[in-house]
Amino acid sequence: MLGPFEIVVSGVELTPSAPKLRQLLALLSLQANRTVSMEQIIEELWEDRPPSTATTTVQTYAYQLRKTLRLVEQRDSGPVGLHTSRGGYLLELPPDALDVDRFTVDAQRGRAHLAAGDTVAAVTTLREALRLWRGSVLSDIRRGPVLQAEAVLLEELCRGVMELRIDLELELGRHHELIGELTGLATANPTHEGFQTKLMLALYRAGRRSEALQVYQRTSAVLRNELGLEPCLDLRQAHQAVLAADDSFDPVATTDAPPPSAAGFAQPPCHLPPDVTLLIGRDAQVARTSEVLTSSGRSAPAVVVAFGPPGVGKSAFGVHTAHRVRAEFPDGQLYARLVTPSGDPVDPADVLADFLRAWGSRASAEEVETASLDERVRMFRSWTAGRRTLIVLDDVVSDDQLRALLPSGPGCAVLVTSRRRLADPAVTRSIGLTPLDVVDVLELMVNVLGRQRLAQEPKAAVRLAEFSDGFPQVIRAALWRLELRPYWPIRKLVDRATRESAFVMRAGVPELDLLASVERTCRTMSPEAFLVVRRAAEIDGDITAARVAGALPIGEFDAEGLLDELVEVGLLEVDGPEAGHHPDNFRYRFRPVLRKAATMIDAPPGSPAIGLRPVRTLRATGVPV
């Protein structure tokens, strides 16, 4: 009920497929063990336009439901049956058969814990209740008047439980852990003043006063523009408290502090970098990744790999998604970057040592330091066996790196970002990140520069969006330049970037430097592949193994292998064979912004000195002389 409607017995789904049949079964289920009158059924199925055969049709539906329910009975799932009573039908179900009932019981248990003064137990129980929700009530069923009223009631009940749980966690001083969740709730419910007030409180307590004030300003504008309302008293008081740094807004000392967690530390570690303030164009991928990471009933940890070319925003995506789901992992959130700033792979043994120290491993510091890689892997897997921990591995270079850092507990999850698609069998889902479209880039520009500044130069704004080629790192670097120079028209930056690409692509800020990102990518490849990057970037039009072999003293077979290596790390895309050529002769191409970057990067140390043939022959005919 708490999401798409389904009947699952002993792991087998028995949900009817016919829409009216599903609607009737949902109605009877929500009124389980109570008689539903024929009038209510007809009103639900047809509202004020029932057919003349409505009663007969309902009887036919009841017959079909009984056949389905007999399958349930045969699986020893307890007393189940559809009974005809005077004037209607009664669906008999065993206790706890419905997720709705389990949710209600858990919510009552949570409130009972709170009444008994056990705040920590109340939070834990309320979390268990909310974990039963999988989306909107009966989201895949047409809801008539009866089901609609039930759905509204349940969703309000859920919202009340959620707000109570958040209030209790704020009392326990867990404001850092709540910021990601509250940001998502506040964004999804921009006029819900309760969520906005709680988000301001969490941000303020986390030392992010300016962001708390931005929440108030944004909410005030939405309330005035959309509803013609002023902010409520609670929201206004929160605003004043933030402005005045009122100590009444500080965390309240409580005797209900959480006990040491199952992982053995007083405060579970959270090593995630700060959440990104804005992530445009990735809603579907964030939702899909979050769903996989938090799915229940697994026998092994969920491992999601987000991959894509340099500059596409993989790290921002990983950090933002991790903050969104972190509340589901109470035993901590660990983070490691697997490439150094110079582009060298990080030793997994060093990462494991950091993780074990962060957890306060029972092994002494000396034992961890002197342990081999295999020994640290075993310690790490033992430590994660019964825990629910989120592990974020940013910029993983190889399957070997990933394999050493996988936890063993099925309650854990791993979110990986990588420049290449990883093929380890442990990977649950791979998410490919591609450049943004022009609309998303313009939305990002509006959020950073403001609608008025873009409206003054619409053509220049579109030109800048096109120059970025949809790469978030490039457009953010350009917007950073414009923010530093508010007196610059957008046209001036576009003209400067067109004449001098390095002005935007070599930003000088590590997070915004596309050239540095491309150079790090090249360091993960073979030295020979770097030469192919440089030479292929000089070829006009489509790139083929034959053309690359014509520019370097290598055969077509070797050239194709090196080109495929560039595809693996996202520097090249592959379209298929040239027209009229053998089907195995693929055509490769650069994204325009990556082609520019490839012509500007320096050779990594150790690149072989392979002689180059004149590129003019490639541009003229595509055939070497």
Confidence of residue 285 (pLDDT cuts 50, 70, 90): very high
Q: Give the residue with greater pLDDT, 352 vs 508.
A: 352
Quote the tokens at residue 592: 């325009």
* Mean pLDDT, residues 49-60: 89
Query: Could you give the count of Cα atoms lying within 13 Å of 430 in the half-sphere of its Cβ?
Result: 14
Is residue 514 pLDDT above 80, yes or no? Answer: yes
Contact 4, 139 (CB under 8 A): yes
Q: Quick: pLDDT tens for 319-345.
A: 999 999 998 898 889 999 999 877 789
Specify which residues 88 forms β-bridges with. 37, 85
Instruction: For residues 408 and 419, give the distance between their C-alpha atoms in angstroms, rounded to a whole number.
Output: 25
Instruction: Give the largest Cα separation in the chain, rounded.
Output: 94
User: What is the model's pLDDT at position 254?
Assistant: 46
Please, which pLDDT band fits residue 389 given cuts at 50, 70 and 90? very high
Helix segments in 79-118, DSSP class H: 99-115
Q: Mind listing the pLDDT tens digit for each residue in 98-110? A: 888 888 888 888 8
pLDDT of 292 higher than 90: yes
Please, what is the end-to-end C-alpha distance for the chain in angstroms? 71
Beta-carbon contacts of residue 268 (< 8 Å; ≥ 6 apart)? 261, 330, 331, 332, 333
- What's the rounded Cα separation, in Å, for the pair 585 and 582? 6
Check whether 615 has a pLDDT greater than 50: no
| pLDDT score, position 350 | 92
Sheet holding 35-37, edge to edge: 35-37, 88-92, 81-85
Q: Given pLDDT bands bounded at 50, 70 and 90, which one contains residue 594?
A: very high
The C-alpha atoms of residue 195 and residue 188 are separated, in whole angstroms, by 10
Assign 260 a pLDDT band (cuts: 50, 70, 90).
very low
Candidate ranges 70-79, 471-480, 497-506; pick with highest mean pLDDT: 471-480
Nearest to 175 by CA among 270, 107, 260: 270
Q: What confidence score (pLDDT) does residue 414 get?
A: 97
Long-range contacts from 191-199, C-beta under 8 angstroms, 24+ separation = 191/219, 191/222, 191/223, 191/226, 191/227, 193/219, 193/223, 193/231, 193/232, 193/234, 193/235, 194/163, 194/234, 195/163, 196/235, 197/234, 197/235, 197/238, 198/163, 198/166, 198/167, 198/170
- Look at phi and psi of residue 261 and say left if phi exceeds 0, alpha if psi is from -120 to 50, else beta: beta
User: Do you know the residue count of the chain?
Assistant: 625
Q: Which of 166, 184, 177, 175 is nearest to 249 (CA)?
A: 175
At residue 286, the pLDDT reads 92
pLDDT value at 417 more than 90: yes
So what's the pLDDT on residue 36?
A: 87
In three-state form (DSSP H/G/I as H, E/B as E, the rest C), the secondary structure along 424-453 is: CCCCCEEEECCCCCHHHHHHHHHHHHCHHH
pLDDT-based confidence at 513, cuts 50/70/90?
confident
CA–CA separation, 211 and 419 (whole Å):
32
Q: Look over the chain and give the mean of its residue pLDDT values, rounded to a whole number.
A: 82
Q: What is the pTM of this model?
A: 0.56
pLDDT band at residue 294 using 50, 70 and 90 as cut-offs: very high
* 21 pLDDT higher than 90: no
pLDDT mean over 558-567:
90
Mean pLDDT, residues 271-295: 89
The predicted pLDDT at position 6 comes to: 66
**What's residue 624's pLDDT?**
30
pLDDT digits (tens, 9 = 90+) for 127-185: 888 888 877 777 778 888 888 888 887 888 888 888 999 999 998 888 888 888 899 88
* Residue 198 binned pLDDT confidence (cut-offs 50, 70, 90): very high
Query: What are the residues facing 534 on neighbouring strands?
Result: none
Sheet of 429-432, strands arranged across: 333-337, 390-396, 413-418, 302-307, 429-432
Distance CA 405, CA 397 (A): 13
Instruction: Assess contact for 585 and 546: CB atoms under 8 A.
Output: yes
pLDDT cut 70: percent of the chain above it = 86
CA angle 456, 459, 463 (to 5 degrees): 125
Q: Report helix, strand or coil for 228.
A: coil
User: Which of 321, 355, 359 has the alpha carbon at shortest distance from 338?
Assistant: 355
The three-state secondary structure class of 166 is helix
Q: What average pLDDT does this structure show over 585-614? A: 70
Supply the pLDDT for residue 501.
Answer: 82
Contacting residues for 369 by C-beta, under 8 A, at least 6 apart: 353
Residue tagged 């004030």 (tokens): 213
Q: Which residue has the higher pLDDT, 9 or 596?
A: 596
Please state, in angstroms and rounded to a whole number, the distance separating the CA atoms of residues 311 and 517. 7
pLDDT at 622 over 70: no
Which residues lie closer than 8 Å to 310 by C-beta, 6 or more apart? 419, 473, 514, 517, 518, 520, 521, 569, 570, 571, 594, 597
Residues 6+ apart with CB under 8 A from 304: 289, 292, 293, 413, 414, 415, 416, 427, 428, 429, 430, 431
Region 1-16 average pLDDT = 59
What is the predicted pLDDT for the residue at 136? 74
Q: Is the pLDDT of residue 390 over 50?
A: yes
